[in-house]
Amino acid sequence: QVQLQESGPGLVKPSQTLSLTCAVSGGSISSGGYFWTWIRQHPGKGLEWIGSIHYSGTTYYNPSLKSRLTMSVDTSKNQFSLELTSVTAADTAIYYCARDFNGNRPYWDSWGPGTLVTVSS
């Protein structure tokens, strides 16, 4: 049973870079057929897909965030990461990482518990 755990600063200043890591355990991030995904949820609001990455380096980003977003994979540490630059209060959210089973009918079959990131001075 794969498990995911987000980590990173809970508080980021405006205009700075938000950096989060998702540690994967119980399975290899290099397994084919999976993408690794970030999703966020603004306080009291719905869910927003941020982007997905394959261990090979292939990435898909939400067009609304693409200019500020970089995702990466570290296979040696079995983890993947997100960097979002030039953050504002609008980036305050709970950030979830998830495994995307990219088979015939893709879906996120494992999720981390989420981490709250607040953007404030």
Partner 1 sequence: DIQMTQSPSSLSASVGDRVTITCRASQTISTYVNWIQQKPGKAPKVLIYGASTLENGVPSRFSGRGSGTDFTLTISSLQPEDFATYYCQQSYSNRDRTFGGGTKVEIK
Q: Pick the closer one to partner 1 by CB: 16 or 101.
A: 101
Binders of partner 1: how many residues, by CB under 8 A? 22
- Contact pattern from residue 15 through residue 54 relative to partner 1, giving x for each residue in contact according to CB under 8 A and a dash for the rest: --------------------x-x-x------xxxx--x--
Q: Which CB sits closer to partner 1, 16 or 62?
A: 62
User: Is 111 an interacting residue with respect to partner 1 (CB under 8 A)?
Assistant: yes
Burial 103-121 (b: 16+ CB within 10 A, else e): eeeeebebebebbebebee
- Interface with partner 1 by CB under 8 A: which range of 12-20, 26-34, 74-82, 106-114? 106-114
